[in-house]
A and B are shown apart, each in its own frame.
Chain A
Amino acid sequence: MSLQATTQRAWSPLFQLRGVSRRRPDASGEPVAILDHIHLDLAGGLITTLVGPSGAGKSSLLHLLNRLDEPDEGSILYQGRDLRQWDVVELRRSVGLVLQAPVMLPGTVEQNVGAGPRLRGQALARERAVELLRLVGLAPALLERKAADLSGGEQQRVSLARTLANEPRVLLLDEVTASLDPGSARDVEELIVGLTSRLSLTAVWITHNLAQAERCGDHLVLMAHGRVAEEAVTAGFFAGPATEEGRRFLESGKEVHP
């Protein structure tokens, strides 16, 4: 049964992946499938969490969605149009990516937050920078601070504000709370859920934390060995996975995040 058929709320796919494969050479130089003929629809306006063991291909999949990487086979449609037909700069502004370990650009917080607009020749107004900092729960006084001097949690929020300054439609989140302490992780998590709802954003969110996936996600995609093992409405998955792989993963995940 397709995910669309099992979902209570009607939704239209924002991304459609059709037979997407990606191979990379292993240590001996032989190509190994990181993603293996993925067929997947990702819902617009909802939060989809990508879960699965390490090496399942989650990050590789995420990097394909804003064309930081290219599939070897298959095609990806965004808003019904093949990614390769989009202007890549326009696409990346529309589909923002936040990495697991926040990477600060040289300079101040204000320069970091204003990086996106500056790349298209516009200066980010001070009021807008303040607004973005407030939006991600940071004090405007931080604008003058050197970004590299901030704590991990603060840097992750700056990363988020920097991505939001481009006014994206989609947020790709690659384990954005993994490197944070539990308190900061929970704050950032609530912040993202609040932002996606308030700004009507679509989010594709990789997490290793099943409790987080249950709390935050509308849909869940379980990946294993470069394939989609199960896709489900989040509540449905946690009530009882439809596949053996899903059941095993849920059991092992509960041991890690009871």
Chain B
Amino acid sequence: MSSFTLSLTLAFTLLAVAASYWQRLALERDILIGTVRAAVQLLAVGYILYFVFHAPSLIFTFLMVAVMVGVATQNASRRGKGLPGVQWRVLAALTLTEVVTIGLMLLFRMIQPTPQYVISLSGMIVGNAMVVAGLLLNRLQGEVDARRDELRVLLSLGATPRQAIQDQLRAAVRACMIPAVDSLKTVGLVQLPGMMTGQILAGASPIVAVRYQILIMFSLTSAAALCSIILGLLTYRLYFNQAYQLAR
């Protein structure tokens, strides 16, 4: 794609700005800021990846993944505003999810231990886990707020925090898993995933692209399950104090 053609993609952004202006959504400023940020971030990361891929180094690879996890942690933690220590818990959940998922891929030699594979796939896993983490914090807070009386009844009957919040926790984890499970069911029928589309556009055989896409889909499903369960288990206690009372 030439630079001229790339600049023409701004037409899509202008279309979104026009739609926002027409419907008075007041999103024009956000769309323009988002567009500039996306372009700068992607171009910057493109050059960084070019450098890292051409000078493979374990340290650079680790640093790239660490930055991804750090930024994702900061972003997802905003959904748990007001929960003390939520940032460390999100960091732990994202790190564990990344280590287990990429670790299994490397252990079973599904991917080669090169920056190209590790960084690209980590981006997908951490990005997906970040969305799941934010969703879990949001949903769990919603469940606790909506079912406060139920929690109080269970505590008054002698439930431990884990017993009291079990249903709400399960509902939140389920909500996090639904997008991944729905994607599994409809992939190829409703949507051609981004990575597969990218590979095909870059000239790869659809058969090869599909194989990698299967790896991606399955690993993202497991990452969603891992991240939501780990974060749920690390976070639920924050809604209670030491005396098994709902936190004030």
- Interface of A toward B, CB cutoff 8 Å: 66-70, 84, 88-90, 92-93, 96-97, 99, 101, 103, 105-106, 115-116, 119-120, 162-163, 166
Contacts and interface: CB of A to CB of B under 8 A. Distances in A.
Contacts of A162: 157
Interface in B199-248: 241, 243-245
Interface of B: 149-150, 152-160, 163, 167, 241, 243-245
B149 A105 contact: no
B240 to A, nearest CB: 11
B243 A119 contact: no
7 contacts: A67-B244, A70-B243, A89-B158, A92-B157, A99-B149, A119-B157, A119-B163
A88 B167 CA distance: 21
Contacts of A163: 157
A90 B155 CA distance: 11
A69 B152 CA distance: 10
A92 B245 contact: no
B157 A166 contact: yes
Given A67-B245, A70-B243, A92 B150 contact: no
A93 B243 contact: no
Nearest to B156: A97
Contacts of A92: 155-158
A68 B156 contact: yes
Given A88-B243, A88-B244, A103 B158 contact: no
Contacts of A88: 243-244
Contact of B153 (A84, A89, A93, A105): A105
Contacts of B157: 92-93, 96, 115-116, 119, 162-163, 166
B153 A119 contact: no
B245 A66 contact: no
By CB atoms of chain A within 10 A, which of B150, B154, B158, B167 has the most? B158
A93 B158 contact: yes
Given A96-B157, A103-B149, A115-B157, 10 more contacts: A67-B245, A68-B156, A70-B245, A84-B243, A89-B160, A92-B158, A93-B157, A101-B149, A105-B153, A119-B163
Contacts of A105: 150, 153-154
A119 B158 contact: yes
Contacts of A68: 152, 155-156, 245
A93 B150 CA distance: 16
